[in-house]
């Protein structure tokens, strides 16, 4: 019981540490006028890929943070599967990214804020690979407030329905 609790706490600390790295990526996106979503991929406790949304810079609607992070992780791994890896992303992946994470057979996905409009779980949780483990809500407040900052600065709207609400 004690050991299990201790392991869980250690894992939570690790998750928060890497989610902070994903948040750093998200802030970089903000600097570039991109939607504030960041992602990192880790393997054996080391970051092997990272990215943030680049849809504006690349003129590519598919240039989501997860896509960029997993592509760079695959390059680092020299392989197309990320079954030993964890992807951390500040906002719940969309169906496209969930599909890509499925193709990569991603071992684990950790996300911060839910996305009630475009999150994959709104469509079908089975978009992910059956062996992929999911943890949601890590640093949720920070992840979603960064999104809210983005939308309110971009569109000057009040509490937006675009930004993912807390919890
Ligand atoms: Zn996506």
Known catalytic residues? Answer: 66
Distance from the alpha carbon of residue 109 to the mean position of ligand 1, in angstroms: 13
Nearest to 104 by CA among 28, 49, 52: 49
Distance from the alpha carbon of residue 29 to the mean position of ligand 1, in angstroms: 14
Residue showing tokens 């970089």: 28
Predicted confidence at residue 2, as pLDDT, reads: 64
Burial class (CB in 10 A: 0-12, 13-18, 19+), 81: middle
Surrounding residues of ion ligand 1, Cβ less than 5 A: 64, 94, 96-97
Q: Which of 7-11, 42-46, 104-108, 119-123 has the lowest mean pLDDT?
A: 7-11
Distance from the alpha carbon of residue 64 to the mean position of ligand 1, in angstroms: 5
Distance from the alpha carbon of residue 93 to the mean position of ligand 1, in angstroms: 5
Q: What is the pTM of this model?
A: 0.87
Distance from the alpha carbon of residue 156 to the mean position of ligand 1, in angstroms: 24
Distance from the alpha carbon of residue 7 to the mean position of ligand 1, in angstroms: 31
Radius of gyration of the chain (CA): 15
pLDDT tens digit string along 20-72? Answer: 999 999 999 988 889 999 999 999 999 999 999 999 999 999 999 999 999 99
Query: How many angstroms from the chain centroid is the CA of residue 56?
Result: 18
pLDDT beyond 80 at 7: no
Output the furthest CA–CA distance in the chain (Å, rounded).
Answer: 51
Residue 142 pLDDT class (50, 70, 90 cuts): very high
Predicted confidence at residue 124, as pLDDT, reads: 87
């Amino acid at each position: 019981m004690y050991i299990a609790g201790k392991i869980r706490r250690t894992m939570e600390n690790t998750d928060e540490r890497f989610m902070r790295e994903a948040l750093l990526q998200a802030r970089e996106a903000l600097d570039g006028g991109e939607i504030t979503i960041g992602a990192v991929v880790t393997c054996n406790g080391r970051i092997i890929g990272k990215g943030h949304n680049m849809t504006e810079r690349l003129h590519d609607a598919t240039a989501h943070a997860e896509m960029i992070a997993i592509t760079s992780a695959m390059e680092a791994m020299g392989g197309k599967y990320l079954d030993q890896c964890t992807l951390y992303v500040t906002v719940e992946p969309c169906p496209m990214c969930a599909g890509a994470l499925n193709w990569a057979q991603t071992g684990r996905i950790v996300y911060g804020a839910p996305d009630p409009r475009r999150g994959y779980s709104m469509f079908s949780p089975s978009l992910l690979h059956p062996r992929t483990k999911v943890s949601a809500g890590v640093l949720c407040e920070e992840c979603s407030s960064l999104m809210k900052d983005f939308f309110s600065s971009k569109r000057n709207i009040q509490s937006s329905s675009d930004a993912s609400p807390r919890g």
